[in-house]
Amino acid sequence: MSNQKKVWYENAESKLDPGLVEHLRDIQKVNLKSTNSNEIPIILYLKKNCQQDKKDDLLKICNKDSPNKLSKGLPSINGLKGHLTPDKIKQIKDHEAVERIFYDRIVTSFLDIASEQIGAIQVREQLGLTGKGIAIAVIDTGVHPHDDLVQPSNRIIAFHDFINGKEDPYDDNGHGTHCAGNAAGNGSLSNGKYTGPASEASIIGLKVLDKQGEGRLSTIIESLEWCMEHKEEHRIRIISLSLGAPAYESFRDDPLCLAAQVAWHQGIVVCAAAGNNGPDQTTISTPAIDPFIITVGSTDDQNTLDRADDRIADYSSRGPTIDSFVKPDIYAPGTNIVSLLAPGSSIESELPEMIRDEKYIELSGTSMATPICAGVIALMLEANPDLSPNDVKSILKATAHPILDDIWGYIDAERAVEMAKNHRLHSSTEVVQEG
């Protein structure tokens, strides 16, 4: 029987998330001489009802020694973000103000004839709904002012750059622009050929991923908080997240899930891509593991309008989640989707063979399915602005076609919008009087 003692971080798993323990273990494996001086990006949960003096003491301990830095607040999860060395993490893990410490790991974009196929064109032609007046926040790599978003009028109503601090809309990767078009492109440069479901919806571009399509959990959380802070100003009704990271533990503890939940409970419909790690089971990413928000899987429509030959795309992540919940909630087209091209972007240079008609590009992934779902939701909210996020989710699932080999079905824009129009909230004040 081995008497070898565990290293400190393996004895502190109740204070450190599995991702951080794994990262510390990886650092040790490579035998870096300066292991204890390496900065690690972290997210720290403060204890509930943490007194200000204890928080101040924690900040003083963390910020007195370079290169440690802990200062940026994440109020939606009662947390802080920063960079700490392993030695500093060891020192403060049992501090009175500290609930838990997470590795601020990398989040990536999920890239691996949709509108007519799901019935969105019919909604526009028969009901006159286009998503007008509904704002969709696309949290991604940014958004390029493509003609399909800014002509005949500019529908990019706000832009915030969490990566480089630029003020004007841009997209050096291209993923976010494609996603914005999937939701709300109007086909201006293709004579209406390539359009999203909500061709008059407003777009808010939030750049949280860099040129390589990577970012940190904490940056995504900051963007969710930005949406909540500016919800009324920009009338934000929908958040589209075509990104994610591996899920290490329950949604109850996951920082990205917790922030997404807060946005949901504040009345914003949150859609998240399931991930591209299928067909294996239990591959749903965070924040898509969260049971409250809408998790979107991807189908392959075989490039036909006939839904009978559609199937779940092999790459689309499958449930159950780490908490054993059924996911995804809904499926939408995500394979070989033609949408907006951001000129000069990484995707343009890496995938020249996928460029279509010079101004568009064909991509596949749950990244594409998610904003298509967001576009359908914009139509539903235009039809009935009083719908709550829970109403939207229930209607999407109730009207989906059960033609796929999974628990939930395939999105149907016509049926969803029709039910949204006819939906009436029952007053909670109604009581039955007994005679």
**The two three-digit tokens of residue 342, written as one number:** 């951001």
Plot region of 142 (φ>0 → left; ψ -120 to 50 → alpha; else → beta): left
Whether residue 66 lies in the annotated active site: no
Is residue 78 within 8 Å of residue 48, measured between CB atoms? yes
Q: In three state form, how does the secondary structure of 349-416 look? A: HHCHHHEECCCEEEECCHHHHHHHHHHHHHHHHHHCCCCCHHHHHHHHHHHCECCCCCCCCECCHHHH
| pLDDT tens figures, 206-234 | 999 999 999 999 999 999 999 999 999 99
Structural domain contains residue 285 = yes
Mean pLDDT of 247-251: 93
Q: Which range, of 145-149, 231-235, 421-425, averages the lowest pLDDT?
A: 421-425
Task: Identify whether 67 is preceded by a cis peptide bond (ω within 30 of 0).
Answer: yes
Looking at 149-201, which runs of residues are DSSP E strands?
156-161
Number of other CB atoms surrounding residue 225 within 10 Å = 18
Decide if pLDDT at 306 tops 70.
Answer: no
Structural domain contains residue 311 = yes
Q: Do 119 and 199 share a domain, yes or no?
A: yes
**The two three-digit tokens of residue 225, written as one number:** 């908080």
Structural domain contains residue 323 = yes
Q: Do 123 and 177 share a domain, yes or no?
A: yes
pLDDT greater at residue 431 or residue 368: 368
Q: Do 32 and 158 share a domain, yes or no?
A: no
Mean pLDDT of 147-156: 97
- Which residues contact residue 289 at a Cβ distance below 8 angstroms, ignoring those fewer than 6 apart? 247, 251, 254, 257, 295, 321, 322, 323, 325, 327
Decide if pLDDT at 365 tops 60.
Answer: yes
Strand partners, 297: 331
Q: Quote the percentage of the chain above a pLDDT of 90.
A: 74
CATH code: domain of residue 350: 3.40.50.200
- Domain end marker among 71, 87, 104: 104
Structural domain contains residue 1 = no
* Residue of 202, 218, 298, 367 with catalytic role: 367
Decide if pLDDT at 280 tops 90.
Answer: yes
CATH code: domain of residue 49: 3.30.70.80
Whether residue 324 lies in the annotated active site: no
Q: Do 113 and 184 share a domain, yes or no?
A: yes
* Residue of 175, 240, 323, 329 with catalytic role: 175
Query: DSSP H helical segments within 185-294, as ranges?
Result: 217-229, 231-234, 255-265
- Domain end marker among 82, 104, 126: 104
Mean pLDDT of 179-205: 96
Structural domain total, the chain? 2
Q: Do 122 and 95 share a domain, yes or no?
A: no
Structural domain contains residue 433 = no
pLDDT greater at residue 122 or residue 262: 262
| pLDDT tens figures, 28-58 | 776 554 455 678 999 999 999 889 999 999 9
Range of the domain at 34: 14-104
Q: Do 272 and 353 share a domain, yes or no?
A: yes
Q: Which range, of 16-25, 93-102, 231-240, 402-411, averages the lowest pLDDT?
A: 402-411
Structural domain contains residue 3 = no
Q: Quote the percentage of the chain above a pLDDT of 70.
A: 89
User: In the prediction, which pLDDT does 6 show?
Assistant: 72
Q: Do 90 and 166 share a domain, yes or no?
A: no
Q: Do 293 and 272 share a domain, yes or no?
A: yes
Whether residue 367 lies in the annotated active site: yes
Q: Do 219 and 144 share a domain, yes or no?
A: yes
> Residue 433 and residue 58: Cα distance in Å, rounded?
58
Q: Do 93 and 124 share a domain, yes or no?
A: no
- Domain end marker among 78, 104, 130: 104
| pLDDT tens figures, 50-83 | 899 999 999 999 988 777 788 789 999 999 999 9
Report the mean per-residue pLDDT for the chain. 89
**The two three-digit tokens of residue 30, written as one number:** 């490579």
Structural domain contains residue 9 = no
Structural domain contains residue 435 = no
* Residue of 17, 140, 171, 329 with catalytic role: 140
Q: Do 24 and 53 share a domain, yes or no?
A: yes
Question: 60: buried, middle or exposed (CB in 10 Å: 19+, 13-18, 0-12)?
Answer: exposed
Q: What is the pTM of this model?
A: 0.90
Q: Do 100 and 212 share a domain, yes or no?
A: no
Residues 26-47 as b/e (b if ≥16 CB within 10 A, e otherwise) read ebeeeeeeeeeeeebbbbbbbe
